[in-house]
Chains A and B, each alone.
Chain A
Amino acid sequence: DQQVKQNSPSLSVQEGRISILNCDYTNSMFDYFLWYKKYPAEGPTFLISISSIKDKNEDGRFTVFLNKSAKHLSLHIVPSQPGDSAVYFCAASTGNQFYFGTGTSLTVIP
């Protein structure tokens, strides 16, 4: 049973526009959420995270929003760049247990 879901397997966005990637989770005990970015033939790399005590965390062009009541988080990339084209995984954790979504493949069109 998937505790973390990314319902959009793919997303295409024009360069310079906003990319919004969504993630839903089921376990209210999760206390930390992360986004990883993965290029082909490479391992996932950490992008940004947010603690459950916050509802927003920003790092440059990347912002993660957390809505605990809806058990939903999203990653906003503004402005999107062609180099952002990759697969994005969201993850939720409690202690050392990590649960990843199935990923969303983002394509930024020049």
Chain B
Amino acid sequence: DAGVIQSPRHEVTEMGQEVTLRCKPISGHDYLFWYRQTMMRGLELLIYFNNNVPIDDSGMPEDRFSAKMPNASFSTLKIQPSEPRDSAVYFCASRGGILNSYNEQFFGPGTRLTVL
């Protein structure tokens, strides 16, 4: 099992540009989570999906952020336009339903985003 796959691993962009982060969850997992890690706030949950449907996006900081999950094996997190304060490490995580692994999430390696 390859685990959760994220791309790109590093992204450097200029303020105002559109950024798209990608995630492939573990096959068979029906929950997918997007997190942002900063020094000040640690890991913050941005949004999570169940069976490809967004369930809670209350953590998405602004309308500049959007996330989609068009199918069970792919999700994107888009920032448009990007700002320097969006610089952080963004993690994707997935987990199986309650019958598989209660509450344990499996994280991808993260995407380090730098907005200049």
Residues of A that sit less than 8 Å from B by CB = 2, 4, 6, 32, 34, 36, 41-46, 49, 89, 91, 93, 96-103
Contacts and interface: CB of A to CB of B under 8 A. Distances in A.
B105 A98 contact: yes
Interface stretch (B11-19, B41-49, B65-73, B74-82): B41-49
Nearest to B3: A43
A96 B50 CA distance: 10
Contact of A46 (B40, B91, B106): B106
29 contacts: A2-B41, A6-B42, A32-B103, A34-B104, A36-B107, A41-B110, A42-B109, A43-B93, A43-B107, A43-B109, A43-B110, A44-B43, A44-B91, A46-B104, A46-B106, A49-B104, A91-B43, A96-B31, A97-B45, A98-B45, A99-B45, A100-B35, A100-B42, A100-B43, A100-B44, A100-B45, A101-B42, A103-B42, A103-B43
Interface residues of B, number: 26
Secondary structure at the A interface, as helix, strand, loop or mixed, is strand
Contacts, number: 56
